[in-house]
């Protein structure tokens, strides 16, 4: 099916708004719980204890990225296509993928337990104990992530949000707080962080079973295992994606681990606290990505390039429009916000400001990584992550001894910018979706004027460390942004009641 370039984007925008709002609420809860977790860990265990917890979580996240073998991305990419054209293959494909992650997850957990002393170093016995504790949870985490992604691929946004974005993130700070209240150590806090993974896995499998049970299979097909050609297709996509995700998680977390090696565990705790706060801005990215990834796969599979371009344009505008205000507040009021974690964390304010500004620029590329993956080009994504990881490690080695955690922030920001640039060029040349600099640039200007202007004015009156300036910036800047969005809703692709004839800007 070929798109004639006159497909309506109004219905897609409404779908994105409706499903995105559900996803956004879940991502908001997840981000708030993540901040609460960071707050509880920082207050209960200090800079050193925070360093133990965050380094352990970082190693676990990298290991999880490898042991799930890319099967989560496979099912987000493949399920919408199979559901539409070959529903009889859905069950067998899911069983194949889950079998792989169970086996590889168990092996990965054993390996992690063995090499924990090599990762932590001889002088960090607490980190070794934390890593060995997390090793038991690695196969459960791999199954949970894969099963949740499969529910997304089959169209289940609500279960994904309730389990992955609300249930698991909410339980974590509660359990860690219980450990802290009874005088438990940072190592026990790591175990408390991991326990909800098992519950999340069970919930995800129940939802997935119901989805596949209710799916109407073709009358003559009841396959419990994919065909040889289907297995080959899955493996061709999954292998580079496994490498890509492992490298991606390394880029996200390796700086925290490297800071621990190069500057000490306490510095790692301060930097980890600052870097985890930028996850607040990811709530918009996560909310939109959860919805658009299966839609990109569907459109590109059906050769509906114009519809994919229109969806990409709308999602990119919304991403910068609603995530930039969060990063502006984090950058401007970094000392105040980090002070909530404890006096020792205020030293991370320059790093938080650098990370926040870097995120604004990086997100101007929109959901470009989702487009690249959903076009089936996981190999290119893996190549990008390899380049970015080399850049990140090299920059950290050079900058951290010289600039401390601000150097780590610069290294991470440069890595993210290169990653977005490479993906944008590849999508333009290989897929045919072009960048939208004019539309996205305008989406950045609006929050810079409304929220950024309010922050500059109020900070000049009350000072950078004023809580009142922060609160009033959020209120006044948010109201100005809302008014601008209402008055200029068509240019910002927020006029969901209208249908345009083309997807051109």
pLDDT digits (tens, 9 = 90+) for 215-259: 654 434 456 766 677 777 777 666 666 666 666 666 666 677 777
What is the Cα–Cα distance from 33 to 343, expressed in whole angstroms? 21
Instruction: Record the tokens describing residue 96, joined without a space.
Output: 């194949």
CA 101 to each of CA 46, 91, 167, 271: distance values in angstroms, whole numbers, following the listed order = 36, 16, 22, 32
As a whole number of angstroms, the distance between CA 141 and CA 482 comes to 39
How crowded is residue 88: how many other Cβ atoms within 10 Å of its Cβ? 16
Q: In Å, what is the CA distance from 363 to each residue of 2, 131, 351, 373, 461?
A: 30, 33, 18, 17, 31
Q: How many residues does the chain have?
A: 505
Asked which of 4-13, 296-305, 333-342, 418-427 is least confident by mean pLDDT, the reply is 4-13
Q: Please tell me the number of Cα atoms within 13 Å of 229 on its side-chain side.
A: 1
| φ, ψ dihedrals at 10, nearest 5° | -65, -45
Mean pLDDT: which of 121-125, 153-157, 158-162, 451-455 is highest? 451-455
Let me know: does 477 contact 324? Beta carbons within 8 Å.
no
Please say if the pLDDT value at position 1 is more than 50: no
- Position 10 pLDDT exceeds 60: no
Confidence label for 173 from pLDDT (cuts 50, 70 and 90): very high
pLDDT at 134 over 90: yes
CA 399 to mean position of chain CA atoms: 26
Taking the C-alpha atoms of residue 394 and residue 397, their distance in angstroms, rounded to an integer, is 5
Q: Which residue has the higher pLDDT, 338 or 124?
A: 338
Would you say 451 and 480 are in contact if contact means Cβ atoms under 8 Å apart?
A: yes
The pLDDT tens digits of the residues spanning 259-285 come to: 777 766 777 777 877 777 887 667 777
Cα angle 163, 164, 169 (rounded to 5 degrees) comes to 100
Segment 385-409 shows an average pLDDT of 87
pLDDT at residue number 218: 45
Q: How confident is the model at residue 17 (pLDDT cuts 50, 70, 90)?
A: low
Tokens of 319: 């991403």
415 three-state secondary structure:
helix
pLDDT band at 8 (very low <50, low <70, confident <90, very high): very low
The whole-chain average pLDDT of the chain stands at 81
451 band by pLDDT with thresholds 50, 70 and 90: very high
Tell me the per-residue pLDDT of 25-45, one tens digit each, with 9 for 90 and over. 777 788 788 888 888 988 888
336 Cβ contact list (under 8 Å, min separation 6): 464, 465, 466, 467, 470
pTM: 0.68
CA distance 316 to 121: 42
By CB atoms closer than 10 A (0-12, 13-18, 19+), residue 199 is middle
**pLDDT at position 177, please?**
93
User: DSSP secondary structure string, 96-146?
Assistant: HHHHHHHHHHHHHHHHHHHHHHHHH-TT-HHHHHHHHHHHTTHHHHHHHHH
Average pLDDT over residues 124-147: 91
Which range among 1-5, 108-112, 372-376, 394-398 shows the weakest confidence by mean pLDDT?
1-5
Q: 172 pLDDT exceeds 90?
A: yes
Angle CA(478)–CA(310)–CA(446) in degrees, nearest 5? 25
Neighbours of 419 (CB within 10 A): 25
Phi-psi region of 486 (alpha: psi -120 to 50; beta: other; left: phi over 0): alpha
Answer for the pair 372, 380: CB distance below 8 angstroms, yes or no: yes
DSSP assignment letter at 346: G
**How far apart are the two ends of the chain, measured CA to CA in Å?**
24
3-state secondary structure of 116: helix
Predicted local confidence at residue 400, as pLDDT: 86
Query: Rounded distance, CA 306 to CA 373, Å?
Result: 18
Q: Where are the domains of the chain?
A: 10-487
CA distances from 320 to 326, 367, 368, 475 (A): 10, 10, 13, 19
Residue closest to 33 by CA, chosen among 141, 166, 163: 166
C-alpha separations of 157 from 49, 270, 283, 377 in Å: 36, 35, 15, 24
120, pLDDT greater than 60: yes
């Amino acid at each position: 099916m070929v798109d004639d370039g006159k497909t309506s984007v109004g219905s897609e925008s409404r779908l994105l708004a409706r499903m995105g709002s559900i996803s956004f609420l879940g991502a908001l809860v997840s981000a708030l719980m993540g901040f609460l977790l960071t707050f509880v860990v920082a207050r209960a265990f200090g800079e050193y204890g925070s360093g133990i917890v965050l380094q352990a979580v970082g190693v676990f996240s990298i290991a999880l990225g490898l042991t799930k073998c890319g099967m989560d991305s496979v099912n987000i990419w493949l399920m919408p296509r199979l559901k539409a054209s070959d529903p009889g293959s859905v069950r067998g494909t899911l069983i194949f993928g889950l079998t792989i992650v169970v086996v590889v997850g168990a092996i990965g957990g054993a390996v992690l337990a063995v090499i924990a002393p090599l990762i932590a170093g001889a002088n960090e016995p607490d980190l070794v104990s934390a890593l060995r504790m997390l090793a038991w949870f690695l196969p459960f985490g791999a199954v949970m992530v894969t099963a949740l992604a499969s529910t997304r691929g089959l169209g289940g946004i609500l279960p994904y949000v309730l389990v992955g974005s609300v249930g698991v993130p909410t339980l974590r700070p509660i359990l860690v707080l219980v450990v802290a209240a009874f005088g438990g150590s940072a190592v026990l806090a790591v175990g408390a962080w991991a326990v909800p993974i098992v519950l999340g896995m069970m919930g995800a499998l129940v939802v997935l079973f119901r989805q596949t049970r209710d799916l109407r299979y073709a009358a003559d097909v009841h396959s419990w295992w994919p065909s040889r050609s289907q297995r080959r297709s899955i493996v061709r996509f999954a292998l580079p994606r496994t490498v890509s995700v492992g490298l991606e998680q390394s880029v996200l977390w390796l700086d925290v681990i490297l800071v621990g090696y190069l500057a000490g565990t306490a510095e790692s705790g301060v930097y980890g606290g600052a870097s985890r706060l930028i996850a607040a801005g990811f709530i918009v990215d996560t909310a939109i990505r959860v919805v658009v990834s299966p839609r990109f796969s569907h459109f590109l599979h059906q050769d509906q390039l114009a519809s994919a371009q229109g969806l990409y344009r709308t999602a990119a505008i919304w991403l910068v429009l609603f995530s930039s205000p969060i990063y502006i507040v984090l950058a401007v009021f970094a000392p105040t916000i980090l002070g909530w974690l404890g006096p020792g964390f205020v030293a991370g304010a320059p790093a938080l400001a650098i990370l926040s500004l870097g995120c604004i620029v990086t997100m101007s590329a929109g959901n470009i990584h989702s487009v690249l993956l959903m076009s089936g080009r996981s190999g290119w994504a893996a190549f990008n992550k390899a380049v970015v990881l080399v850049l990140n490690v090299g920059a950290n080695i050079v900058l951290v001894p010289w600039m401390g955690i601000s150097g780590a922030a610069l290294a991470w920001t440069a890595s993210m910018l290169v990653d977005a640039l490479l993906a944008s060029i590849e999508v333009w040349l290989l897929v045919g979706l072009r960048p939208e600099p004019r539309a996205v640039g305008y989406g950045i200007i609006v929050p810079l004027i409304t929220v950024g202007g309010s922050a500059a004015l109020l900070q000049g009156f009350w000072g950078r460390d004023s809580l009142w300036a922060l609160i009033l910036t959020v209120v006044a800047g948010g109201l100005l942004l809302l008014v601008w969005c209402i008055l200029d809703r068509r240019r910002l692709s927020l006029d969901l009641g209208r249908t345009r004839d083309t997807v051109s800007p």
